[in-house]
Amino acid sequence: MTVTGENYKAAREIYARAGVDTDEALRLLNEIPVSIHCWQIDDLGGFENPDRGLSGGIQATGSDPSKARTKEEFMTNLTKALSVVPGKNKLALHAVYLDNLGKFVDRDEITPENFAFWVEYAKEHQLGLDFNPTYFSHDKAESNFTLSSYDPAIREFWVEHGKRCRKISEYFGRELGQTSVNNHWIPDGYKDYTIDKLKHRELLMESMDEILKEKIDWKYCVDSFESKLFGLGLESYTVGSHEFYSNYAAIRNNCIVCMDMGHFHPTEAVSSKLSSYLVFDRQVQLHVSRPVRWDSDHVVVLDDELKEVMLEIKRQNAFDKVHIGTDYFDGSINRIAAQALGARSVKKALLYALLEPTDKLKEYEEADDLVRRLVYSEEHKAMPFGLVWEQFCEMNNVPGSDWLEKVL
């Protein structure tokens, strides 16, 4: 038996005394897909026009020289990052990561053919694919309004982009035999004092209705809409707020809400919001990010809120309702290591949650035995879950704590 195996045996016995089956936790962890975003590798530059630069209230900061400079370098670095992430994974793409097939293809012209190489990549690496329309970093987004623009020609352009992205996401789902989440985030808003906050939302609702007009089987494609508190240069008013998308999804019932952990007031916690959707049997998309003083898109680490989010999903047995994905881009450190670290942190948080003695804690709560609820919740924090994590890495033929040297 390896050292990892011996350590795992000891950890399994410790958890068993608390009523936790670590073998079952590992089995479940190996089946829960995490959607790993691709854009950490090149600061969301994409293949459409990598020199354009970001716009739309988002920014990648840092000057580490590891940013991928070509498509070939991007694919190599992405593959290297994914090679040290254990378990079942998906890959989230943005529309700007296309193959233009030797000619310029604008956003309202993209087709599944432009993303066929990603399907082949996914099959080779046993991945699912999620998708994101790119409603920013484009000449027709320079006014800071897209789907909610007063200009009907601008709205028409972006509506067509949204429709085509749905067909691409559906294509992914059919080709790979698993649901592709097609997530819409728009940057629309004003930097300063706003008079009419209703009109833009009326226009956004009309645009969304048009995009979602065609029915697509949720088996292949689920549309989500991602809210945001504000963006850089859009501090006073965001059209696509959390309340707007929550109401739209509830009333129209043909899409779901995406909650990014960095897109709320600093005192709000996504972990406390999840059950309000789950109680209505609603699906949710989760973008795991790490806000520092707000939506700074720092690399995800195993912090308290990440653990709380995963605990909430586990406590409600909602792994079939919550689509878990990552979303961050830090240009200050090695991009490959950052990509891998964030994804591994999400997996660790999932394991931490799966190893909680949830049934026992719920029994204490229902019996109003609040002291035992608190004490054993605290004792869980000191349990040797790191030894179980090392076992998970070994069973997936992925490096454990020494993974960094594999990607640098």
Report residue 347 CA to chain centroid gap.
13
Among this protein's residues, is 295 annotated catalytic?
yes
Catalytic residue among 327, 330, 356, 390: 327
Quick check: is 226 catalytic?
A: yes
Q: DSSP assignment of 321-378, as one string?
A: TEEEEE----SSS-HHHHHHHHHHHHHHHHHHHHTS-HHHHHHHHHTT-HHHHHHHHH
Tell me if residue 263 is catalytic.
Answer: yes
In terms of DSSP H, where are the helices of 69-151? 71-82, 116-125
| Number of other CB atoms surrounding residue 93 within 10 Å | 25
Is 99 one of the annotated active-site residues of the chain?
no
Active-site hit among 138, 287, 307, 380 = 287
Q: Is 287 one of the catalytic residues?
A: yes
Tell me the Ramachandran region of residue 169: left when phi exceeds 0, alpha when psi lies from -120 to 50, beta otherwise: alpha
* Catalytic residue selected from 170, 260, 356, 390: 260
Furthest C-alpha separation in the chain: 69
Q: Which residues of 135-166 are buried (b: 16+ CB within 10 A; e: fewer)?
A: bbbbebbeebbbbbbeeeebbebbbbbbbbbb
From the list 188, 226, 356, 390, the catalytic residue is 226
* HEC sequence for 374-389: HHHHHHHHCCCHHHHH
Q: Which entry of 94, 263, 273, 314 is annotated as an active-site residue?
A: 263
Identified catalytic residue from 185, 223, 348, 403 = 185
Out of 43, 175, 223, 297, pick the active-site residue.
297
403 vs 389: CA distance, rounded Å: 13
223 catalytic residue (yes or no): no
Q: Catalytic residue positions?
A: 185, 226, 228, 260, 263, 287, 295, 297, 327
